[in-house]
Structure 1
Amino acid sequence: MLAKVVLLCCACAGALAAPGIYGGVGYAAPAYAAHVAPAIAAPAIAHYAAPAIAAPVIRAEPVDPNPAYSFSYGVSDPHTGDQKDQQETLQNGVVHGSYSLVEPDGHLRRVTYTADKINGFNAVVERTGGAHAAPVAVAPVAKVIAAPAPVAVAAPVARYTLPVAAAHPWG
């Protein structure tokens, strides 16, 4: 309610402060307007325009209607026994690829796949090789004998309660 009163007061003050703002046919200035002191001209303030900064022209990247790529990598680590590789190409909207790895039991797993918008992802998995473990270098384990750590005993927790006289005044 207070906001409405303030808004109404501001609207009335604005209408009375500048009676010529409504202009138009049939509007006459009030009789007291002739007795108002002449207005003092405001000092001239130079206005400078901000320098024009041209907006950057945004151009769309050219879209290749037939993108193509090819990549491959391989890992062969004799310390860990990790052996794997992958290769993949994209030509004419069809992805052809394969990857292989040596499993912990020594088998070689090779996955050959193709993928396109019509047939989706199709893979063929082959597992070859013997059932012997891949050689893995193992560092010897050092035995450490340590004395048992001392056991810390926690102190009992103190509880504090308010006396009855200091209880809540309304309770």
Structure 2
Amino acid sequence: MFCKVLLIAAAVGIAAAQYNHGHGHGHAVSSQNVVLHQTHGHAQQSGHDSHGHHVDYHAPAHYAFEYSVEDKHTGDIKAQHETREGDAVKGYYTLHEADGTVRRVDYTADKHSGFNAVVHREGHATHAAPAHHSYH
């Protein structure tokens, strides 16, 4: 399940980067990185992949995932990093808000504690003054 979510997130990031680059803006930067760690323990059910390598289908899941976008033209700046070892997931994401602050969410999830997140806000909010127009 987590791998599907990660692959979908990576595909969305790639599509967003291609969209921004394809429209002549040239200001978007996107990067994705997914690393899957497979173990070769002794489980009841195992097999071989298409390359003949041993695959343990009941081994605990292990992966590391990173994603970032920086589009200065639209102000879309965000990043995420996540790791999983067995049933324990931990990570963070950052998001640049429209008011100039940066939201950072550090999170963990496991079968004992469930999902837990701590939200931090960095910087000071700034708001643009409304433009006054005089009509003559």
TM-score normalised over the length of structure 2? 0.51
* Structure 2 CA distance for aligned equivalents of residues 108 and 64 of structure 1: 40
Q: Where has structure 1 moved over 2 Å in runs of 4 or more? A: 59-62
Higher-Rg member (1/2): 1
Alignment of 1:2-151 (within 5 A): 62-132=56-126
Identity value in percent: 50
* Structure 1 CA distance for aligned equivalents of residues 127 and 71 of structure 2: 15
* Structure 2 CA distance for aligned equivalents of residues 133 and 88 of structure 1: 32
Deviations 1:19-60 (CA, angstroms, capped at 9, x unpaired)? xxxxxxxxxxxxxxxxxxxxxxxxxxxxxxxxxxxxxxxx96
User: Which one has more relative contact order, counting CA pairs under 8 Å at least 6 apart?
Assistant: 2
Q: Which runs of 5+ in 1 are unaligned?
A: 1-58, 135-171
RMSD of equivalent CA atoms: 2.1
TM-score normalised over the length of structure 1? 0.41
| Cα distance change of structure 1 residues 130 and 101 upon mapping to structure 2, 3 Å threshold | same
Q: Which runs of 5+ in 2 are unaligned?
A: 1-44, 48-55, 129-136
Deviations 1:55-82 (CA, angstroms, capped at 9, x unpaired)? xxxx965413211011101111010011
> SS at 2:124's partner residue?
coil
> SS at 2:112's partner residue?
coil
